[in-house]
Structure 1
Amino acid sequence: MVSLVLEFIKKELKIEWRNKYALNGILLYLVSTIFICYLSFNVKSNQLNVVTWNALFWIIILFASINAVAKSFIQEKQERLLYYYTIISPQALIFARIMYNALLLILVALLGFFFYSIILGNPVITTWLFLAIILLASVGFSSTLTLISAIASKAGNNQTLMAVLGFPIILPMLLMVIKVSKNAIDGLALSASLDELITLLAINIIVGAVSFLLFPYLWRS
């Protein structure tokens, strides 16, 4: 199964490299949105406080994640899905998709943090904790949105359904991520954020396990 997952991730990377328009579109969205925030809040006049900086960053990353992961199953043709059905198990497929999307979202989030820090400043004191939150949030967004994309693909590729199903699941995770990120910005000790970090890790494990168990039933349909 490990070899199948690695081969599938390699295949996705090759496709992404050939069709660079998807990644380029996400990067263009990041840079343009950050620049619009810069113009709107007039950063040179210190109109952007730390709380707003934190909330804006994660809202931008969330929508970039939705755009990046939405194509996982929704844009797949039935012929290609049928081909996957003959060469790979559903567990390996969903795990490979989650891993690939997680790597993609980590890259997008890190690039977003880089551009965001250059254009809007970087008030983060505990940088390593903020980067750890980016890692956990990217994996959580990937596992959740990948499963929801698979469900939406079985409902006629309805992207509206993906948004409706994803909002109640993503919102609590997003609020928790924003809270822990504020602790990293304020430079608080790790003990102040330990409970939230463990909860985020547990959510990632639970969603991954649910995807692993439920996706075979979606796959057979």
Structure 2
Amino acid sequence: MKSSFFTLISKEFLAEWRQRYALNGMLLYIISTIFVCYLSFNIKNTDLQLVTWNALFWIIILFTSINSIAKSFIQENEGRLLYYYSLASPQHIILSKIVYYGTIMTILSFAGYFFYSFVMGNPIQDLTMFALVVLLASFGLSSALTMLSGIASKAPNSTSLIAILSFPVLLPLLLVIIKASKNAMDGINRSLYMDDILLLVAINAIIVAVSYMLFPYLWRS
């Protein structure tokens, strides 16, 4: 059973490597979006406020994650899903998707952060905690969107459905992410907002646990 889990993960990475245009397209999307924001705010003439810098960064990451992860189950045809059904357990399938897209989203988030800080400035005081928030946010967004993609794939108009379902699910997670990252930007004593970090870890754990328990019922349908 463990071998099937790692086989599924390696399959995802091999498929991505063979079709590198998808990852390259997402990198181009996030870079072009940041560049448009740079031109819109005219950074050379105005200083961007910290709250605006933080909110704009996470809006870019949010839309990047939706565009890159929403297709995780939607793009799979019925024949391939049936083959997966006979190959591995549904728990391994959903966990492999979460690990894969969490890794991809982490790469995109840090790549976006480096380019964003290059063109928009880097006002972050505590880089270590901000990097931790980015890591937890990447896996949290990927976990939630992967499960939502599985739900939306069972219904018609799945692309529109995932946009509707994602808002109430991602909003609490996004609020915690923005609050924790803003504290890291201000360089506040870590003990004062460690509860937000632990809450972010707990939300990630809950999303993964719920996906692990409920996905088999969704898979059988």
TM-score by length of 1: 0.97
Structure 2 counterparts to residues 111-130 of structure 1, below 5 A: 111-130=111-130
Residue number in structure 2 paired with 1:174: 174
How do residues 61-76 of structure 1 correspond to structure 2 at under 5 angstroms? Answer: 61-76=61-76
2:25 corresponds to:
25
The residue type paired with residue 46 of structure 2 is N
* TM alignment of 1:155-194, pairs within 5 A: 155-156=155-156, 158-194=158-194
Deviation at 1:3, TM superposition (A): 2.2
Measured against aligned partners, the alpha-carbon deviations of 1:61-96 in whole angstroms (never above 9, x if no partner) come to 011011111111011100100110111100000010
The match for 1:208 is: 208
Q: Could you tell me which residue of structure 2 aligns to residue 147 of structure 1? A: 147
Question: Aligned with 1:46: secondary structure?
Answer: coil
Could you tell me how far apart the structure 1 residues matched to 2:141 and 2:55 are? 16
Using the TM superposition, give the Cα deviation of residue 157 of structure 1 relative to its aligned residue in structure 2, in angstroms. 5.4
Is the aligned partner of 1:195 residue 2:195?
yes
Match of 1:60 in 2: 60
Q: Give distance in 2, aligned partners of 1:112 and 1:83.
A: 36
Q: 1:135 and 1:51 mapped to 2: Cα distance?
A: 20
Report the Cα distance in structure 2 between the residues aligned to 1:208 and 1:17, rounded to whole angstroms.
Answer: 26
One-letter amino acid of the structure 2 residue matched with residue 186 of structure 1: D
Match of 2:13 in 1: 13
- Structure 1 residue 48 corresponds to structure 2 residue 9: no
- Distance (whole Å) between structure 1 residues aligned to residue 202 and residue 157 of structure 2: 30
Q: TM-score, normalising length from structure 2? A: 0.97
Residues 161-218 of structure 1, C-alpha deviations (whole Å, 9 max, x = no match): 1111110010111111111111111101111211111111111111111100110011
Residues 1-21 of structure 1, C-alpha deviations (whole Å, 9 max, x = no match): 332221111111111011112
Give the secondary-structure state (helix, strand or coil) at the position aligned to 2:74. Answer: coil
Unaligned runs of 5+ in 2: none
**C-alpha distance in structure 1 between counterparts of 2:78 and 2:124, whole Å:** 45
How many residues were matched structurally? Answer: 221
Q: Output the amino acid matched with 1:134.
A: V
**Structure 1 stretches of 5 or more lacking a match?**
none
- Structure 2 Cα separation of the partners of residues 49 and 39 of structure 1: 16
Q: Following superposition, which runs of at least 4 residues in structure 1 exceed 6 angstroms of deviation?
A: none
C-alpha displacement of 1:160 = 1.0
Distance 1:35 1:178, change over 3 A: same
* Letter in structure 2 aligned against 1:141: L
RMSD: 1.0
Partners of 1:148 and 1:162 within 8 A in 2? yes
Is the Cα–Cα contact under 8 Å of residues 74 and 157 in structure 1 kept in the other structure? no
